[in-house]
Amino acid sequence: MDIKWLDYRSALKRIYFSDRSLIPLETDDFQDFWKFFDKYLDVARRKSIRSEPVASGRPSFGGALTSSRYSRYYRQLYVPVLDKTERYAARSLPTNVVAEFEYVLNCYVEFRQRKSLGKLKAIQRAQRNLPIYLFKGDIVRLVRSEQVVIIAGDTGCGKSTQTIQYLLGAGFDRIACTQPRRIACISLCKRVAYETLNVYGSSVAYQIRFERTKTASTKGLFLTEGLLLRQLSIDPDLSAYDVVIMDEIHERHLQGDFLLGVLRDLVLKRRELKLVLMSATINLELFSGYFERAPILQVPGRLYPIKLVYMPLPAKESKSERIDPSPYRGILSMIDQKYPASERGDVLIFLSGITEITTVAEALKEYADLSETRRWVILMLHSTLSLDDQDRVFDITPDGVRKCILSTNIAETSVTIDGVRFVVDSGKVKEMRYDADTKMHTLKECWISQASAEQRKGRAGRTGPGNCYRFYSPQQYEKFDKYTEPEIRRVSLSSLLLQMYHLNIADPRNFRFIEPPNKDSIENAITHLKDQSALTNEELLSPLGQILVNLPVDVRIGKMLVMGCLFQQIQPILTVAAALDVQSPFTSRSFRDLEAQSLRGQLMSDSGDPFALLNVYREWLNVKAQNRESSTRWCRKRGIEEQRLYEISKLRSQFKGILEDSDLIEHKELHLSAAQRRIRKGEVLRLKSLKRKFQSSQRSRKVLKLKHWDDELEPDAAEEGNTTSTADELKDVRAVDFYITHTSSEIEANINELAMDDLSLCVMKSIVCGALYPQYGVLDVHNSYKPGSDLVIHSKAKSFLLLHPNGCLAQDAESLCVLQDGEGRSGRHHLIFYSLLLETTKPYAVNTVRAPALHSLLLFARHIDTSADFHRIVCDQFVEFQIVIRNPKSEHVDTKTEAESGQDPSGPGSGSGSGTDSIEDLVFEAVQIRQRFAQCLERKLAGDKYRSQSLPKRIHRFFRHELLYSLRHLLPADVKSLYGCSDSAAGGRDKATAVTDYLTVGSLAKVGQVEDAASYLTKKWRCDNCGNEFYFSFVQRLEHQNGCVEKGKGSGGGGGDASDDEHSSAKSSANTAQHNDYYCSECCICFDSPINYLKHKRLH
């Protein structure tokens, strides 16, 4: 053949393989075509086929390929559709090259169709064998005639993959199919694409958090329940869909139950909307009655015979806290003895949690390694494992070897593992429950329901006859609940209620759930939302609540993001908020492997877990920027799951977009030159093409090596050659996705912005702790700060909590040890703020941060009571501070002495913005910071582009000030005597002054013989708003400050906030003060009353 194809290959790729072509660039089909083309050339060379002369314009049909009936009409089989530019480019090629290439292209299409035809016949044969196939006509007929249809299909009937195909084939379009988990959306979409040979193309797609394949031509969409709820908040009528399918409704998740209630009201409003409910094990009467006697279609499952064996454990063992692995080891031994190695069949063991899985896995690994023939590979399946480790359970084993998979209830419905023949059911599950009184989440082990037991048993009969071994008795089984308790009755409802208010549901108390939650849970959630300022007292969404509802995170994390918008720490707070919302990136290996522990330790922070996560993310970005080592290898060495870091990146981008849309932060365009934009556009096109290739390809099942779940990296991955390139990283679809949205300059900028200096760290702590409040605790006075010791804290709701042993503060206990004098006084006492209280084997505080005790509560506490002289301060009726102060008389100021000594009268103690000299000044400064922050937040939520420049520095100075004090947490008996009255606060508070809605001065009982002088004691003070100087008491200072601010607002000055400059007052104090009746011309100071003026004159 006389055509030099290498000279034309680049042009041919550009012309015939665009994104809209039948064979898009960089897909599996694209790669297969070139293999086909190379084979064609090889055959042509062997047969010495020569092309026709260019003038004839015809390819050589004759000998390279077998003659077919399409050869004469090859242009009718597949005619490439070229746009104007591509047609023009094709004209530049020789005619015989174009004709020959299009001929081979058509031969490949014919070859692919013949190949697909055989596959399609096999798929259709399998589909016809599914039990649901017999009900295909009934499903279509019912959906056409009824508005709500319930399909109760047993395990293996095919409802999840076939129903949407039946409806699409019957002419329905705009179909949404919800799934409780993201992994189910992806796997079902790919399965439908496989079964239809992708004849629908992008018409069947999936959409989950951060990822979507949906296009304008999509007719059937798999998505999560939470995502459909978010679409409801934008489009209350769901006008984008004509049919909604809810799958796996028996799982009774929080979002699923709420979505059921919303759709129930929606079908009454939109009569043309069709709703299909599907489940395996379901309370038919409950669901049918909820939808006004909706018709039920029951489809039997397709299960092979399953032998059920009850093997109850002895009572002593079943009640033991630590699981005994010997019964599970006995099952493996029995299988080895009873079944030949040549007879395939894997084992799936259902356990309650990761602790139980690890304990049993260690014992089974020991058994497998002692076996002479090495017949077992022990694997684990749990949400805390890396995705790569989870994927290993789907791989196949070599001949003569079986898999033993230890899993939680994730394998009941969400995951189907082919080849499982033996199921071992412990009968236990761990459920999360929430106690609104103690604010404690409890992961409690309990018996499963009968429905779950049947689901577990069914896993043994999916691909062949199987056995199910139940480690409980038939009598115990009969005592199980028939169905799993709905999640809505077990968890906190704060986020759900926020969504309900956003959907304009008038009163959540009256919303008709399929099974309503406890009324106290609703009231506690409403109270919590009010405390977080997300709801007004009238139970309407506040401006803050309107923003929080758009953030797909917990209320506290959303509040953290909003607070961060007021300061110049956007990048760090985006990272911390995202990191707290995803699963911990640290795998079990990071705490088990000594080398991983050492390397991970370099990333830890003595400030707390959020800052350690910040360090991890920054260093990971640094590895990507330097491009010296594979980021995947870097993560594996430290026991870090890289997938979590990619999730953090996506969440950061999502949060940033929401905050920009809410006008809380400014949108910054990427400044590139024309040449840089062209380069970047080409990079993005190439990366998107790679991403499509990954999405269209199927993960091939690998053959497992004889390695268990905890084996190290493969030998070739552990070699010293750690150098890599970005091209190597782009073999991972997650990396491709990352580089689509992150340029190298953006990565460098993020690295710089995530660096923490002292001011940034202080401000970040204020934001994080302010958002987590009132979730804090006091360290126990008897704590031992030696390595490995349990560290106890006490919160107001729950005493004797432990810092989680995997947390930064627990592993660096010395950072919490404070030097104290004999009376327990120090200037550096800590409070421990936490994001979650979780009780597993013990009650733990998770994601903890340490912060200065006195300063933090002065800024965040909802209730602050003080003695008249500020010697005692009690915050939230829980923490008492006793401050060491100077003699009150020493706080009188001699202005002459100041002037003679050269001391600046506006120095410490003279003004709110200049520093603090005493506890009184510290409290005054805290009040002013709180007022300034509230003003800033109000302006920001009102859409003002305002951003405080001075507030971060002011907070930094505030936390840098040290006072000597002791602290203790109060018991209920202590609270009764706080106010000098045993039964109430009335006695002490009658003479107290409520300075603000959170601060009451003089309400606490006296301590010792301290003189009650604060009510009349005055000191010199300069007002930053008007520039005047006064001799005021604490209360007078605040009264003047508030009045001065209001006067400034009235005159258009914004109360000193317009310029946000603490030294913006252009007026001279002396000139302004001369208009005051009680003005001292010698000292240039004015007074608010004649008594104070006369007292001052005595000093001359």
pLDDT in tens, 27-45: 777 888 888 888 888 887 7
Contacts of 408 (CB under 8 A, 6+ apart): 350, 351, 352, 353, 354, 357, 381, 382, 383, 429, 430
- Residue type for position 283: N
User: DSSP secondary-structure letter at 210?
Assistant: T
**Distance between CA 951 and CA 935 in Å, rounded?**
11
**Distance between CA 893 and CA 876 in Å, rounded?**
33
Tell me what percent of the residues of the chain surpass a pLDDT of 70. Answer: 79
Check residue 704 and give its pLDDT.
72
Residue 562 clears pLDDT 70, i.e. is over it: yes
pLDDT in tens, 700-720: 667 777 666 655 444 444 334
1008: confidence class by pLDDT, cuts 50, 70, 90: low
User: At 350, is the secondary structure helix, strand, or coil?
Assistant: strand
667 by Cβ neighbours in 10 Å (0-12 / 13-18 / 19+) ranks as exposed
334: confidence class by pLDDT, cuts 50, 70, 90: very high
Contacts of 169 (CB under 8 A, 6+ apart): none
**Distance between CA 620 and CA 597 in Å, rounded?**
17
**Distance between CA 395 and CA 403 in Å, rounded?**
9
Check residue 775 and give its pLDDT.
94
Check residue 719 and give its pLDDT.
39
423 touches 731 (CB < 8 A): no
Of the candidates 797, 814, 419, 431, the residue with the CA atom closest to the CA atom of residue 606: 814
Question: Could you please report the per-residue DSSP string of 1063-1085?
Answer: T---S-HHHHHTTSSSEETTTTE
Mean per-residue pLDDT, 258-263: 94
Long-range contacts of 1073-1078 (CB under 8 A, 24+ apart): 1073/1028, 1073/1029, 1076/1028
Of the candidates 975, 1004, 999, the residue with the CA atom closest to the CA atom of residue 987: 1004
Check residue 73 and give its pLDDT.
38
pLDDT in tens, 786-824: 888 899 999 998 999 999 999 999 999 888 988 888 778
1030 touches 911 (CB < 8 A): no
CA atoms within a 13 Å half-sphere pointing along the CA-CB vector of 954: 25
User: At 779, is the secondary structure helix, strand, or coil?
Assistant: strand
411 touches 183 (CB < 8 A): no
Of 146-160, 1038-1052, 1082-1096, give the lowest mean pLDDT range.
Answer: 1082-1096
Angle between helices 758-772 and 609-626 (to 10 degrees): 130
Q: Return the bridge partners of 204, or none.
A: 220
For the chain, the farthest-separated pair of C-alpha atoms sits apart, in whole angstroms, at 122
pLDDT in tens, 609-625: 999 999 999 999 999 99
pLDDT in tens, 85-95: 666 666 777 88
Question: Could you please report the per-residue DSSP string of 949-977?
Answer: SSHHHHHHHHHH----EEEEEPPHHHHHT
Whether cis (ω within 30° of 0) applies to the bond prior to 610 is no
**Distance between CA 345 and CA 420 in Å, rounded?**
6
Phi and psi torsions of 511, nearest 5°: -65, 135
Contacts of 555 (CB under 8 A, 6+ apart): 494, 495, 498, 528, 529, 532, 534, 548
Residue 407 CA: distances (Å) to CA of 6, 200, 457, 609: 53, 35, 14, 28
**Distance between CA 846 and CA 609 in Å, rounded?**
9
- Residue type for position 267: V
Check residue 54 and give its pLDDT.
39
Q: Which domains does the chain have, with CATH numbers?
A: 5-48+75-125 (no CATH), 131-299 (3.40.50.300), 306-315+322-485 (3.40.50.300), 542-667+674-713+726-754 (no CATH), 775-887+916-981+988-1001 (no CATH), 1012-1045 (no CATH)
User: At 830, is the secondary structure helix, strand, or coil?
Assistant: strand
- Residue type for position 858: L
386: confidence class by pLDDT, cuts 50, 70, 90: low
Of the candidates 374, 382, 378, the residue with the CA atom closest to the CA atom of residue 328: 378
815 touches 809 (CB < 8 A): yes
381 touches 410 (CB < 8 A): yes
Tell me what percent of the residues of the chain surpass a pLDDT of 90. Answer: 34
845 touches 804 (CB < 8 A): yes
pLDDT in tens, 1013-1028: 444 466 777 777 677 7
**Distance between CA 1081 and CA 1065 in Å, rounded?**
21
Residue 1076 clears pLDDT 70, i.e. is over it: no
552: confidence class by pLDDT, cuts 50, 70, 90: confident
250 touches 451 (CB < 8 A): yes
Rg for the chain, CA atoms, rounded: 35
Mode of pairing for the β-strands spanning 466-470 and 306-310: parallel
- Residue type for position 486: P
Residue 1011 clears pLDDT 60, i.e. is over it: no
1061: confidence class by pLDDT, cuts 50, 70, 90: very low
Residue 893 clears pLDDT 60, i.e. is over it: no
125: confidence class by pLDDT, cuts 50, 70, 90: confident
H or E, element range at 440: strand 440-447
Check residue 848 and give its pLDDT.
96
How does the average pLDDT of the chain come out, rounded? Answer: 80
692 by Cβ neighbours in 10 Å (0-12 / 13-18 / 19+) ranks as middle
Check residue 421 and give its pLDDT.
93
Residue 123 clears pLDDT 60, i.e. is over it: yes
Contacts of 61 (CB under 8 A, 6+ apart): 67, 71, 74, 103
Check residue 980 and give its pLDDT.
58
Check residue 155 and give its pLDDT.
74
Residue 80 clears pLDDT 50, i.e. is over it: yes
Of the candidates 1039, 773, 1049, 1025, the residue with the CA atom closest to the CA atom of residue 938: 1049
Of the candidates 335, 239, 916, 847, the residue with the CA atom closest to the CA atom of residue 581: 847
1050: confidence class by pLDDT, cuts 50, 70, 90: low
Which of the residue ranges 42-46, 208-212, 785-789, 958-962 has the most confident prediction, judged by mean pLDDT? 958-962
Residue 722 clears pLDDT 70, i.e. is over it: no
Check residue 84 and give its pLDDT.
55
Of 504-513, 730-739, 1030-1039, give the lowest mean pLDDT range.
Answer: 1030-1039
pLDDT in tens, 759-784: 999 999 999 999 999 999 999 999 98
Q: What is the pTM of this model?
A: 0.79
pLDDT in tens, 143-186: 999 999 999 988 778 898 999 999 999 999 899 999 988 878 88
Phi and psi torsions of 145, nearest 5°: -95, -25
Which of the residue ranges 176-190, 192-206, 904-918, 1072-1086 has the most confident prediction, judged by mean pLDDT? 176-190
Contacts of 388 (CB under 8 A, 6+ apart): none
Residue 263 clears pLDDT 90, i.e. is over it: yes
What are the structure tokens assigned to 526, written together? 């409403």
- Residue type for position 941: L
Mean per-residue pLDDT, 126-145: 92
Residue 193 clears pLDDT 90, i.e. is over it: no
End-to-end CA distance of the chain: 114
980 or 793, greater pLDDT: 793
Long-range contacts of 3-8 (CB under 8 A, 24+ apart): 3/51, 3/94, 3/96, 3/97, 3/100, 5/41, 8/93, 8/97, 8/101
H or E, element range at 402: strand 402-407
Check residue 278 and give its pLDDT.
93
Residue 909 clears pLDDT 80, i.e. is over it: no
Check residue 312 and give its pLDDT.
94
Mode of pairing for the β-strands spanning 999-1001 and 993-994: antiparallel
Mean per-residue pLDDT, 853-874: 92
941 or 1037, greater pLDDT: 941
